[in-house]
Amino acid sequence: MVQEALTLDREPTFYLNGSYVTRAEAVLPVEERGGLFGEGVYEVVRVYNGVGYELEGHLERMHQSLRGIGVVDEGVHAEVEKLRGVSAELLRVHGLSEALVYWQVTRGVSRPRSFVFKAGNPATVMAMVYPVQAIDPAAAPVETTAMLAVDERWANCWIKSTMLLPNNLAYNRALEAGYGAAVMHRDGVVTEATSANFFVVKDGVLWTHPDNGRILNGITRQVLIRLAGGLGIEVRESLYGLDVLAVADEAFLAGTTTHVTAVTAIDGRAVGDGGVGPVSRRLHGALMGDVAAVCGMASAVG
């Protein structure tokens, strides 16, 4: 259950390699390695009330992801640092205060097509913004259902790679089957959802897959673990199997575009009593409270 981007009511402006350009100009060469090989990383930042929530955390992860795909050139990292100002300018140009900001860096052009990385090859740095519906921080968590899917991804899911084909296959299979999300598992271990992390609650304890490289260490995941500590909720970051899903009291997705979304049924079987559980509700409230405080929003939450 992802909060989808809306269409802009005007001609959009994109940022591409140092320039602000129109959609017609915002074109990547066919020999760009992002398209040829999926050699790219990205970030999605949610802007509430004009403020990028956890923007610094997203920026830091972008640097880590780039190093993870071997892009260590200081010049590229310096361009990534500029994305703070670029994002502010794109929001200003479009007059947006509720938005998703998308950043992407791909390795650059390979002419002719070659498997070999070339040192000093200029990377492609782009950014774009989309409007989204404002949230009501006082509203109850969104609910969804999920389908289980085999996690067919690579071993470096900690890198926020643009290579999302396995995620998109699983997600679209779930949608076609009438579910709102796909929760993935590998060798019997529950990993995460296709564009969100996954948590379960059993006997008041919050369980989630550890940050061991096999999942994306979501920014929202990190915030929720911190907030859970403040609420006195015990967190267990350890591997757990599909058997835990059968006995879980609650389950939820967590991510930049999902916030806390309660998963009320998995493969047609109710999770707990099939409603939004108390721990999910508290964590959702805490997340919304943090968003409201950080982004200067009026909040009816605690």
CB 213 within 8 A of CB 156: yes
Is residue 202 among the annotated active site residues? no
Helices (H), the chain: 33-37, 55-68, 74-81, 83-94, 165-176, 219-230, 242-247, 278-294
Q: Which two tokens stand for residue 88?
A: 């502010």
The site for ligand PDD (CB under 6 A) is made up of 44, 167, 192, 195-197, 216, 218-221, 255-257
Q: Which residue has the tokens 């915002």?
A: 26
Q: How far is the CB of 255 from ligand PDD (least distance, A)?
A: 3
CB 195 within 8 A of CB 2: yes
Q: Which residue has the tokens 């690579």?
A: 154
Judged on CB neighbours under 10 Å (0-12, 13-18, 19+), 37 is middle
Q: Which two tokens stand for residue 208?
A: 């989630």
Q: How far is the CB of 31 from ligand PDD (least distance, A)?
A: 25
Nearer CB in complex with ligand PDD: 25/56: 56
Q: How far is the CB of 11 from ligand PDD (least distance, A)?
A: 24
Catalytic residue among 82, 118, 160, 202: 160
Nearer CB in complex with ligand PDD: 204/213: 213
Nearer CB in complex with ligand PDD: 110/185: 185
Nearer CB in complex with ligand PDD: 144/195: 195
Q: How far is the CB of 282 from ligand PDD (least distance, A)?
A: 18
β-pairing verdict for 197-202 and 189-193: unpaired
Q: Which residues are the active-site residues?
A: 160
